[in-house]
Amino acid sequence: MSGISAPSRSVRAASVAPRSLVLKGELVRPAALTVADLRARWGQRRAEVVFDCAKNGPQHHTFEGPLLRDVIGDARPAFDPARRKDRSRFLLAVTGGDGHRTVLSWAEIDADFADSPILLATAMDGRGLDMAGSQLVVPSDRCGARYISAITSVWVGTCAFAGL
């Protein structure tokens, strides 16, 4: 019997381990980060948001977390930070645990362009997201389609435009 219960405990432990997200793509320092890392390494911002959910109607939430710009900036995207045109051609593709994806432009989060305070949330409505995983929060969006839950990866890079 003891041989059966030991694997059962380890499977349970693995299923409740904190989720992490992977920063990858055209980065000098790719990384894997947990919600605890996001909370400890970057300043936390607060955003009170209302967005329309297609399935559940208006959603009212308070999120806390670091700015996406700060987290990705520390991973050092492979562009010349002094050249605005170089920065403006970079994209960010965010993937959630359920396979939901969205794309942002670097210009949306860059202080020289739109300067949107997009978050990688570490808490929602006062509850930590350590076990659920970080959530992308786009406070300016009226629609909730770019609110990605349980983020598994953020890819940063340029897109080749075929035929142009």
Q: pLDDT digit string (tens) for 17-50?
A: 678 999 999 999 999 999 999 999 999 999 999 9
Say how many C-beta atoms besides its own lie within 10 A of residue 148's C-beta: 24
Residue 82, φ and ψ in degrees, nearest 5: -80, -15
Q: What is the pTM of this model?
A: 0.85
Q: For residue 4, what is the enclosing H or E element? A: helix 2-15
**Rounded-to-integer distance, Cα 99 and Cα 93, Å:** 12
CA distances to 2, 19, 76, 78 from 91, in Å: 51, 24, 14, 12
Does residue 16 surpass a pLDDT of 90? no
Q: For residue range 124-133, what is the model confidence (pLDDT) as tens digits? A: 999 999 999 9
Q: What average pLDDT does the chain have?
A: 88
**Nearest Cα residue to 62 out of 132, 143, 142, 119:** 119
**Rounded-to-integer distance, Cα 87 and Cα 36, Å:** 29
